[in-house]
Chains A and B, each alone.
Chain A
């Protein structure tokens, strides 16, 4: 176990690196209002964060990440473009007894720049790679924007596209929905019987609760529409499967994606962005010929990533969590900025100094 003072000084060293590159150092409260996180991540975060109660402010959480408070800080009084760096503990409850730490340091770097998002993606990745360069790490990348574009382009109803988009970050659920919309899985129990009824509300009993009769009949209408809709074609499902199964170097992936885009023109723009990003990364000295790309990367993280995603791993130490992770989270800024009606493209990443130290010590032995 590495000493906490050592971890703090390693964090400070990494943060100084980002400051030297022009980032402004910022702080965030440890005690955060729980509501924002619950609305963003859903009830699952309750099992993964430390929830506590403040007699005045109500439910509070020990900071599960820095991204949300940093975005809020930027949106309330930040000037653009902006680059921030921060360090401190984050807290993650472990419900099952794993060996994962429930509190650990993060050092982060976040860029808010609406003019040159692709440059910003490359900048964040390259900076973190630089910061970690003494450790020989494997980088994995992905692009949630590609998958989202593919789903938005499916030839099916708006409702089905919306349902799939809502579950992109829950792969099993996404798969179950896709199978059903493609006519490859049976309807849920009771659905056929419901739709066969002339008056579905017969024998429904009294109307109780907040969900109104109109909401119920609206959904029945939506289910009827869905039952009448043509299945998503086998060809489209196969293209989507191809996309999700991609696992090659960035250069090979681009070639493969150009082929997919012939039949799935909806992803063409996203592929262009991927190519432009690869060029931007190459300009910053990243070896894109050997940079891994995974079509499904970023789908199971709790974060709100919806574009470029990446992680750095110590291949010799599969027992350790990733040394650094990051990505683009434009959707997060639009959700958090909804009340004020603005959004700003953002990308960032975090390094875990404790893991850096662990690897440095391991290498020195």
Chain B
């Protein structure tokens, strides 16, 4: 039986993943044409490479359809409730760094912290008759974070892209999104709230707790772990 490892199917995340494994003597390579989602692993037997959208890798890991997977730590925490019960972290891979942050218009000079955001939300609701809207696609992470910090009178509105534009379009008052440099936020006249980010994300090699771990896949993982220099 082969050990299935899911990696992002395109872009920098895929290239960096290939580089990371390559630097450790495990060569991942795409096969077939540029457009065909097929790949192979050289340097170690018994592994099948599965190219997937990074956003679907958490779900595939949780279902146990892949044994290992590379994806952002933010995606695993957002998409899987009780993620520690479903996957474990084998290695932080040191790339794909991004912070999940909450940002408000720069013109809100009175709002710098979650504490301020909470007070502004109370006043906003009294003034406008509805709860202050925060646009995001990270519903679980943001809701947990705001609950832990005692923020009330807000609502999350779903935004799957161009989130930074929602404030100017008046479909949200604030945003919660992933950023690495903050440039898009600044360009859209937004500022990040002070304090630690909601989550500091990076590409991570995860192990599924629900996959079929039999003698052969366990042996393959042991060999792979040794090559990669990680604890499995």
Contacts and interface: CB of A to CB of B under 8 A. Distances in A.
7 contacts: A95-B81, A206-B107, A207-B105, A215-B124, A216-B107, A219-B110, A219-B123
Contacts of B116: 188, 191
A97 B105 contact: no
Contacts of A166: 122, 152
Given A191-B112, A194-B110, A213-B107, A219 B170 contact: no
Contacts of B146: 43
Contacts of B113: 188-190
Interface of B: 81-82, 85, 105-110, 112-113, 115-116, 118-120, 122-124, 127-128, 131-132, 139-140, 143-144, 146-147, 149-150, 152-156, 167-168, 170, 173, 189, 194-195
A208 B115 CA distance: 21
B81 A216 contact: no
A167 B114 CA distance: 14
Contacts of B156: 43, 46
A167 B115 CA distance: 12
Contact of B154 (A43, A194, A206, A219): A43
B152 A170 contact: yes
Interface string A192-203: 001000001100
Contacts of B189: 205-206, 208
A65 to B, nearest CB: 19
A215 B127 contact: yes
Nearest to B186: A205
A44 B143 contact: yes
Contacts of A216: 107-110
Given A44-B147, A97-B81, A97-B85, A211 B194 contact: no
A361 B82 CA distance: 32
Nearest to A197: B109
B105 A211 contact: yes
Given A200-B109, A216-B108, 5 more contacts: A38-B155, A210-B170, A211-B124, A215-B123, A215-B124
A58 interface: no
Contacts of B118: 173
A189 B194 contact: yes
A176 interface: yes
A189 B149 CA distance: 15
A208 B167 contact: yes
B10 to A, nearest CB: 31
A219 B116 CA distance: 10
A42 B128 contact: no
Give the most central of A43, A46, A218: most B CB within 10 Å.
A43
Interface in A168-196: 170, 172-173, 176, 188-191, 194
A205 B185 CA distance: 13
A47 B109 contact: no
A173 B131 contact: no
Interface string A118-144: 000000000000000000000000000
Nearest to A167: B150
Nearest to A206: B189
Nearest to B86: A97
A167 B106 contact: no
Contacts of A46: 139, 143, 156
Interface string A29-63: 00000000011001110110000000000000000
B194 A209 contact: no
A3 interface: no
Contact of A208 (B107, B128, B132, B149): B107
Contacts of A97: 81-82, 85
A188 B115 CA distance: 7
B120 A211 contact: yes
Which 8 residue pairs across A and B have the least CB separation, nearest first? Answer: A173-B150, A190-B112, A205-B106, A97-B82, A204-B107, A188-B113, A209-B167, A170-B150
B109 A96 contact: no
A220 interface: yes
Give the most central of A166, A209, A219: most B CB within 10 Å.
A209
A189 B116 CA distance: 10
Interface string A201-241: 10011111111010110111001000000000000000000
Contacts of B140: 47, 95
A223 B110 contact: yes
Contacts of B131: 38-39, 42-43
A59 to B, nearest CB: 11
A73 interface: no
B150 A200 contact: no
B105 A209 contact: yes
Nearest to B191: A205
Nearest to B170: A210
Give the most central of A42, A166, A167, A223: most B CB within 10 Å.
A42
